[in-house]
A and B are shown apart, each in its own frame.
Chain A
Amino acid sequence: MSSSKIIVPEVSTRGISRRSLLIGAGAAALVLASGSMAFAQDPLKIGFVYVGPIGDHGYSYSHDQARQAVEKEFGDRVKVTFVENVKEGPDSERVIRQLASEGNELIFATSFGFMQPTIRVARQFPKAKFEHATGYMKAPNVGIYNGRFHEGRAVHGTVAGHMSKSGVIGYVASFPIPEVIMGINAFTLAAQKVNPDIKVKVIWLNTWYDPGKEADAAKALIDGGADVIVQHVDSPAAMQVAESRGAYAFGQASDMSRFAPNAHLSAIVYDWGPYYIERVNKVLDGTWEPEDKWWGLKEGLIQISPYNDKVPEDVQQAADAVKNGIIDGSLHPFTGPIKDQKGVERVPAGETISDADLLKIDWLVEGVQS
């Protein structure tokens, strides 16, 4: 050990003080500015917690794109930190807590498994503001937000109903939670409007991100007769299987066409940017309140990526009609009559499912095999 020292200045953020410390350095003598000094005119510190790696090209990637949009929009007025691949459970509580104790005043916890940890940390850091995605628990400093992913599914279901020759569609799904069930149902109902005999086979993976499992599920579904693959998991693995097996597929969360130029018919693109920018603006001008936002096609949070040239013009028009109907409110993806898997009528003709009921839906529609 040489006698050179690294001096880390005393840093104090939100009551957590790190004692100044001298440690010997191997070779270089460096004076470090440890970067988290808190002054009055400091930029707003914002933290993002992702459940997957930012390179998943799916869900976490879409949040990270929005994180970059926030940085671009606000420049020096914000300082953004993100932590990727955070396991849902006890580890996430520590990560969220640490973001708060590092002085992040607005924290986006982007996965449903971060719900209890977010609520617990929020209680300990009443001045910080939290936004939790896809959950249901609010608090005085915790707002919640979600996307109407199922609206995009209805558009894609319309495409799939036209494009499937075998009449069997394979659905690679994550967890049987309302968000995913809603998507399967909306997709199936839309496809059945085109072809009443369509069957949707679902494989549950119980994970959001596991390329190996996702690929295996896609293979099994194609072996079982599916010629179109839909996914509610985050990697492009299923899409790549579809490409190599000559099936069609729909991308999840971001445009995945570069992974499967032939198979990729379209993707549901999540654009969280406008929502995040709105929330940051509200924190900056002091008007932030905990809210419960559920944005969809209309608000642009859900977008439909360009169709593959393989989708015929009339099919594109039929799908766009569904999209425009949802946007202008003339079409509700869940309009009765709707029967469940047992054939019991759940929604009478002409009626729709309310948002409150959708958010706790636990039944699949007729024609879904899982």
Chain B
Amino acid sequence: MPLRIDRRPDSTAIRVAAPLLAVLLTVGTGFLLFMALGLNPADTLYQFLIAPLLTFYSLTELGVKAAPLALIACGLAVGFRANVWNIGAEGQLTIGAIAAGGVALAFWNEIGWWILPLMLLASILGGMAWASIPAFLKTRFGVNEILTSLMLTYIALLILQMLVFGPWKDPDGFNFPQTRLFSDAALLPVLQEGSRLHPGAIVAVLVALVAWFVMARTVIGFQIGIVGDAPRAARYAGFDARRTTWLAFLVGGGAAGLAGAFEVAGPIGQLVPTLTPGYGFTAIIVAFLGRLNPLGIVAAALLMALTYIGGENAQIVSGLPQAATGVFQGMLLFYLLAADGLLRLRIRRVPATNGKAVTP
């Protein structure tokens, strides 16, 4: 009897069980791994997964780290739902940060409530402009957007480097590649004194709520889903795939650009050659970990942030080698995706028809 893989009927039990199983497996394997490394496994797990949740400061840091990931991933998810593969969020973030930084430097040492809003606006437009290049190439010439958006990322990073090594270099900075520190009017306020949590975290949550509403409750969201799931049906229904491509890129680029502004006007406070540890790429993982659902994405971004901060914590307090923190992070992601897949799919024996296997 041939075997066949198909989808299990969707159930709440499985939705809850999958992540729980993944966490249990991660904890179990992590326990063995840390023991093999000669560490106290329970303490290391505690430092990794629990300790970052116990101090107020590390909770705010979780927000600092998760906000850009959630913001970018929400923008990307819109495109991924429509089968538009924008891999270049890192580049759109960079151009957004450059646009915001340009405004900050142009009005350096000036005072005005309008400087910060102008920076945010500039970053959104900058990110959109950068994203519209692959959108144009895709809709006009049918160029694969995965390649163009990815390659534009490297161009964006080089533009940033050209600026901070060249015309925008801090004149009093001993020729180090960085701009002046932004003046106060160009810096985001912090939500809580003594922390680095900035309004970008609130914006990320708001964007997620709006994205959820649009995707789940409006005609535009429905169109995006149909264009992604059944492009031919979408065409018959008169939905415009080109417009969807443009929409996906503009939303993704705008969100990434905004995240760039929040980073440079928030925790960084200036333009430097390396702005993020690859948030634009990590956000792709976050988007899929959250199953392209904006609310799921917020949870996934927080989880991702926890593994980073926990990894630092385990290094500092337990002496876990850095490579082992990477293994642990990878393990968690692997189990999450594997548990998801294995619980949602099932292998069934199906009766053979006329001696020929039925291909799924």
Contact = CB atoms under 8 A, between A and B. Distances in A.
A294 to B, nearest CB: 13
Nearest 5 CB-CB pairings of A with B: A90-B267, A362-B175, A360-B174, A87-B277, A84-B322
B150 interface: no
Nearest to A124: B194
Interface stretch (B71-79, B228-236, B268-276, B288-296): B268-276
A83 B40 contact: no
Contacts of A83: 312, 315-316, 322
27 contacts: A6-B42, A6-B46, A16-B57, A17-B55, A19-B54, A21-B54, A26-B24, A26-B27, A30-B40, A32-B46, A53-B323, A83-B322, A84-B315, A84-B321, A87-B277, A89-B275, A90-B263, A91-B312, A94-B64, A94-B309, A99-B316, A116-B181, A136-B176, A176-B177, A178-B175, A181-B175, A360-B175
A93 interface: yes
Contact of B64 (A30, A53, A90): A90
B176 A177 contact: yes
Contacts, number: 114
A25 B272 CA distance: 44
Nearest to B44: A32
B153 interface: no
Given A8-B46, A23-B50, A18 B317 contact: no
Nearest to A356: B174
B239 interface: no
Contacts of B55: 16-18
- Looking at B263, B275, B321, which has the most chain A CB atoms within 10 Å of its CB? B321
Contact of B322 (A17, A18, A28, A85): A85
Nearest to A8: B46
Interface in A101-140: 101-102, 112-113, 115-116, 124, 135-136
Q: Is the interface of B mostly helix, strand, loop or mixed?
A: helix
B186 to A, nearest CB: 15
B274 A89 contact: yes
B273 to A, nearest CB: 6
A98 interface: yes
A359 interface: yes
The number of chain B residues touching the other chain, given as a range, is 35 or more
Given A26-B27, A89-B268, A98-B313, 14 more contacts: A18-B55, A21-B54, A26-B28, A84-B321, A87-B274, A89-B272, A97-B57, A98-B312, A102-B316, A116-B270, A135-B176, A176-B177, A181-B175, A359-B174
A242 to B, nearest CB: 27
Contacts of A163: none
Interface in B150-198: 161, 165, 173-177, 181, 194, 196
A81 interface: yes
Nearest to A81: B316
Contacts of B174: 136, 178, 359-360
Given A18-B54, A178-B175, A35 B317 contact: yes
A335 B316 CA distance: 46
B312 A30 contact: no
A34 interface: yes
B353 to A, nearest CB: 47
B46 A23 contact: yes
A16 to B, nearest CB: 6
Interface of B: 24, 27-28, 31, 40, 42-43, 46, 50-51, 54-55, 57-58, 61, 64, 161, 165, 173-177, 181, 194, 196, 263, 267-270, 272-277, 308-309, 312-313, 315-317, 319, 321-323
A122 to B, nearest CB: 15
Contacts of A341: none
A89 B277 CA distance: 8
Interface string A198-213: 0000000010000000
Given A177-B177, A362-B175, A91 B272 contact: no
Contacts of B173: 136
Contacts of A32: 40, 42-43, 46
Contacts of A53: 322-323
Contacts of A177: 175-177
B304 to A, nearest CB: 13
Nearest to B276: A89
B316 A91 contact: no
Contacts of A327: none
B272 A113 contact: yes
A112 B178 CA distance: 11
A21 B272 CA distance: 40
A34 B317 contact: yes
Contacts of A113: 272, 274
Nearest to B175: A362
A291 interface: no
B327 to A, nearest CB: 13
A35 B270 CA distance: 37
A175 B323 contact: no
A88 interface: yes
A44 interface: no
A194 interface: no
Nearest to B312: A95
A83 B317 CA distance: 10
Contacts of A25: 42
Contacts of B276: 89
B316 A30 contact: no
Contacts of B268: 89-90
A117 to B, nearest CB: 9
A135 B175 CA distance: 11
A116 B173 CA distance: 12
A130 B309 CA distance: 22
A28 B34 CA distance: 14
Contacts of B43: 8, 30, 32, 34-35
A36 interface: yes
A315 interface: no
